[in-house]
Chain A
Amino acid sequence: MPFELSPDREKKLTDLLGRYPTKMAACIPLLHLCQEQNGWVSEDVVAFVSERLELPPAHVQGVVTFYSLFNQKPVGKHQLWVCRTLPCALRGAGELLHYCEHKLGIHAGETTADGKITLRTAECLASCGTAPMIQVDKTYHENLTPEKVDKILDDLRR
């Protein structure tokens, strides 16, 4: 079935289109809306976006694959991003990542068997002063200790 936006997101799209002088400018925000609803950017989503914004599908596909936050395949219910870049690494991001991998039983880039959590690494998330850190979906968890990570993971698994 072709992809369609939910009515509330359709309203958001209308608002978005009013912000820019071109339809193309809504491409990235609209892809976010679609991914929010669909979990990932499927071929149907690309077709939808290209039709609604009157863009060539190749353009939309090019955009989707350029940006690392667009999922090109289905992911877990929650996404857990461990910042790996130097300032976090200086505060133990390497250990933090190993700790998460060990606790979840998966490697970075994989999803737990129950489909709940996808573990990934992120490049600098502008949280250098509160390192090490993890972004869980839309929330930052900073100044992490093993205890805090245990609690985060327990909450997610629940």
Chain B
Amino acid sequence: MPTFKLDGKTIPFEAGDSIIRAAEKAGVEIPHYCYHAGLSSPANCRMCLVEILPAANQRAMMLDIVEWDEKLGDYKAVRKPKLQPSCQFMATEGQEVLAETSTHVIEARAGVQEFLLLNHPVDCPICDQAGECKLQDYWLEHQKTPKRMHDEPVHKPKAVSFGDTIVYDAERCVMCTRCIRFMDEVAKDPVLDMRERGNLKEVIVAPGRKLEGHYTLMTEHVCPVGALTSKDFRFKARVWFLKTAKTVCQGCATGCNAHFDYDPRSNKALRYRPRDNEAVNKYWMCDEGMLSYRDVTSNRVPGALVGGKPVKLDRALEDAKKRFGSVQKSSIAFVLSAKHSLEDNLALFELAELCASRALYVTGAPDGYSDDILIHADKNSNTAGVKNLAPEAKSFADLLADASAGKVTHVIALGGAAPTEEVTALGRLEGLVTIAAHEGPITGAAHVVLPAAAWIESSGTFVNAKGMRQLAEKGTEPLGASEPGWKLVGKLAVAIGVEPSWTTLKDVRSMLVATSVPPPEPPSAEASAE
């Protein structure tokens, strides 16, 4: 692999890598606002300027500037080399680049930083970006000088609603155009542009339109400062109080990698942010996915139900024992769920094996909207995982038919979701127990509902449409009386008189290795043990 030198450090690169990109991949950050690995490079913020030493047979381009000479009492002519934006300049073999080690680069960065803050309101206390704002970070890292301009700054529109999801503050904007480029290049809807010129510039939405579609929240995500804020997250939290779990979005089969931010003091979920993964979602998530962090509380089954009435878990298990205790175990049907983790599914699959039952079915949410950017028509997060686990499992329609025909009388299911709302056939069952995190047609029809933890309340594995097995960390604590699904399957097994072959998550995971599901991605370093 070819290499170049950045501040004396050898940096490998691939053909087509800019200096900043190659450095980024090598774990060296060159400060920047406008550059984003997933977007074109306009080189407009000038924060990533570096000094590229001329080749042996070339001379550096020099510029005439002045400095004040106190002794002389006059200006003194000095020269400085022309710096280059590292986001625009391609890495070349043997090139020598100076950043931290060049006084000119250090001065230029401080200069850009000062310019960006010149007319900035510095309203950090009321800004949602505080704590994750590049203006703040870079002031400390690259400027550290007091304000020299004490006059009234340029005023521009504030709190402009761009649509249902985003608010724009032109005074905080650094004109990096990331939001404009995102809408144009990734969302393929060039609804944003710039108006005016010079220091009167501001970002606008096309006349007669609003910022809408399936990717509006990404404009806030790419904004390096507090110019764009999400209506959903505005004034909800200080980010430094939040904890983050690395998870996988449950909204569809794409399996976008996400950061799940929550307040550990109140166990409150606050937002999703995309987690970069070149192979899955690159740097992005869709709006529906971004807002689906709310599923941790909405539509939940917080405690056990019998006949639709809340009861203690013991009471529910007792009811299950009554309905299932005397039934021929091999006649029980089991319904896996494409919306649940492999761990939950595997536990249920294992129970079916222990019962010597061959009656396996699979359920999940119905198909929905799709596009060719991220959104998959399959609204289940683990379809491929369940398919791999139990390729012979029959469809939910088959379950309804078999229930109608009386071929199936007792069912143990995972989840509340079903591909259809029309589940009257389930009413014919003599016993239906489901282990569900969210309400749905199946919980509605179930005699007994056991409250499962949601995806973020328990570490789990999901296989996306591309067949990639991805680990989701635990974030918030389980809601109400809910417990991890695989654990409840174990308790249910005991209740109906079967000895489960697992007691811990580790047991379940080791059973997973033996399945035909593809090998796992390297597990996250922070994967929490349960």
Tell me the bound Cα distance from A92 to B205 in angstroms.
42
Residue of B nearest to A50 (CB): B206
- Whether B204 contacts A57 by the Cβ 8 Å rule is no
- Whether A57 contacts B208 by the Cβ 8 Å rule is yes
**Contact flags A39-74 to B (C-beta < 8 A → 1, else 0):** 000010011000000001111011001100000000
- Whether B193 contacts A62 by the Cβ 8 Å rule is yes
Given the known interface contacts A56-B190, A56-B191, the answer about A61 and B196 at a Cβ–Cβ threshold of 8 Å is no
Interface presence of B207 (CB below 8 A)? yes
- The minimal Cβ–Cβ distance linking A24 to chain B, given in whole angstroms, is 12
Given the known interface contacts A56-B191, A58-B192, the answer about A66 and B197 at a Cβ–Cβ threshold of 8 Å is yes
- Whether A65 contacts B195 by the Cβ 8 Å rule is yes
Tell me the bound Cα distance from A43 to B204 in angstroms.
14
- Whether A57 contacts B196 by the Cβ 8 Å rule is no
Residue of A nearest to B209 (CB): A57
Interface presence of B194 (CB below 8 A)? yes
Interface centre among A46, A58, A59, A61, by most chain B C-beta atoms within 10 angstroms, is A58
- Whether B190 contacts A47 by the Cβ 8 Å rule is no
Q: For chain A, what secondary structure do more than half of its interface residues adopt (helix, strand, loop), or is it mixed?
A: helix
- Whether B195 contacts A47 by the Cβ 8 Å rule is no
- Whether B195 contacts A61 by the Cβ 8 Å rule is yes
- The minimal Cβ–Cβ distance linking A142 to chain B, given in whole angstroms, is 28
Which chain B residues border A66 with CB–CB below 8 Å? 194-197
- Whether B197 contacts A58 by the Cβ 8 Å rule is no
Tell me the bound Cα distance from A59 to B205 in angstroms.
10
- Whether A47 contacts B193 by the Cβ 8 Å rule is no
- Whether B207 contacts A65 by the Cβ 8 Å rule is no
Tell me the bound Cα distance from A98 to B196 in angstroms.
27
- Whether A46 contacts B195 by the Cβ 8 Å rule is no
Tell me the bound Cα distance from A61 to B180 in angstroms.
14
- Whether A61 contacts B207 by the Cβ 8 Å rule is yes
Residue of B nearest to A64 (CB): B195
Tell me the bound Cα distance from A141 to B196 in angstroms.
29
- Whether B206 contacts A57 by the Cβ 8 Å rule is yes
Which chain B residues border A57 with CB–CB below 8 Å? 206-209
Residue of B nearest to A61 (CB): B207
Residue of B nearest to A56 (CB): B190
Residue of B nearest to A65 (CB): B195
Which chain A residues border B194 with CB–CB below 8 Å? 62, 66
- Whether A46 contacts B207 by the Cβ 8 Å rule is yes
Tell me the bound Cα distance from A158 to B512 in angstroms.
92
Tell me the bound Cα distance from A56 to B195 in angstroms.
14
Which chain A residues border B191 with CB–CB below 8 Å? 56, 58
Which chain A residues border B208 with CB–CB below 8 Å? 43, 47, 57
Which chain A residues border B193 with CB–CB below 8 Å? 56, 58-59, 61-62
Tell me the bound Cα distance from A66 to B193 in angstroms.
11
- The minimal Cβ–Cβ distance linking B309 to chain A, given in whole angstroms, is 55
Residue of B nearest to A67 (CB): B197
**Contact flags A112-136 to B (C-beta < 8 A → 1, else 0):** 0000000000000000000000000
- Whether B190 contacts A58 by the Cβ 8 Å rule is yes
Which chain B residues border A65 with CB–CB below 8 Å? 195-197
- Whether B197 contacts A61 by the Cβ 8 Å rule is no
Complex interface residues of chain B between 200 and 219 (CB less than 8 A to chain A): 204-209
- Whether B197 contacts A56 by the Cβ 8 Å rule is no
Tell me the bound Cα distance from A13 to B454 in angstroms.
61
Tell me the bound Cα distance from A6 to B190 in angstroms.
30
Tell me the bound Cα distance from A61 to B207 in angstroms.
7
Residue of B nearest to A62 (CB): B193
Tell me the bound Cα distance from A57 to B208 in angstroms.
9
Tell me the bound Cα distance from A134 to B428 in angstroms.
91
Which chain B residues border A56 with CB–CB below 8 Å? 190-191, 193, 206
Tell me the bound Cα distance from A58 to B190 in angstroms.
7
- Whether A47 contacts B207 by the Cβ 8 Å rule is yes
- Whether A59 contacts B197 by the Cβ 8 Å rule is no
Which chain B residues border A46 with CB–CB below 8 Å? 207
Which chain A residues border B190 with CB–CB below 8 Å? 56, 58-59
Which chain A residues border B209 with CB–CB below 8 Å? 57-58
- The minimal Cβ–Cβ distance linking B210 to chain A, given in whole angstroms, is 12
Tell me the bound Cα distance from A62 to B208 in angstroms.
14
Tell me the bound Cα distance from A43 to B207 in angstroms.
7
- The minimal Cβ–Cβ distance linking B474 to chain A, given in whole angstroms, is 43
- Whether B205 contacts A58 by the Cβ 8 Å rule is yes
- The minimal Cβ–Cβ distance linking A18 to chain B, given in whole angstroms, is 26
Which chain A residues border B196 with CB–CB below 8 Å? 65-66
Which chain A residues border B192 with CB–CB below 8 Å? 58
Tell me the bound Cα distance from A59 to B193 in angstroms.
6
- The minimal Cβ–Cβ distance linking B201 to chain A, given in whole angstroms, is 9
Tell me the bound Cα distance from A61 to B193 in angstroms.
8
Residue of A nearest to B198 (CB): A66
- The minimal Cβ–Cβ distance linking A71 to chain B, given in whole angstroms, is 14
- The minimal Cβ–Cβ distance linking A139 to chain B, given in whole angstroms, is 27
- Whether A62 contacts B207 by the Cβ 8 Å rule is no
Tell me the bound Cα distance from A66 to B204 in angstroms.
13
Which chain A residues border B205 with CB–CB below 8 Å? 58
Interface centre among A43, A62, A65, by most chain B C-beta atoms within 10 angstroms, is A62
- The minimal Cβ–Cβ distance linking B51 to chain A, given in whole angstroms, is 33
Complex interface residues of chain B between 206 and 257 (CB less than 8 A to chain A): 206-209
Which chain A residues border B207 with CB–CB below 8 Å? 43, 46-47, 57-58, 61
Complex interface residues of chain B between 160 and 202 (CB less than 8 A to chain A): 190-197
- The minimal Cβ–Cβ distance linking B170 to chain A, given in whole angstroms, is 13
CB within 8 Å of A: which residues of B?
Answer: 190-197, 204-209
> What would be 16 A-B contacts, judged by CB atoms less than 8 Å apart?
A43-B207, A56-B190, A56-B193, A57-B208, A58-B192, A58-B206, A58-B207, A58-B209, A59-B193, A61-B206, A61-B207, A62-B194, A62-B195, A65-B197, A66-B196, A66-B197
**Beyond the given A43-B207, A57-B209, A59-B190, could you list 20 further A-B residue pairs with CB under 8 A, ordered by the A residue number?**
A46-B207, A47-B207, A56-B190, A57-B207, A58-B190, A58-B191, A58-B204, A58-B206, A58-B209, A59-B193, A61-B195, A61-B204, A61-B207, A62-B193, A62-B195, A62-B204, A65-B195, A66-B195, A66-B196, A66-B197
- List 5 tightest A-B contacts by C-beta distance, closest first: A58-B206, A62-B193, A58-B193, A65-B195, A57-B206
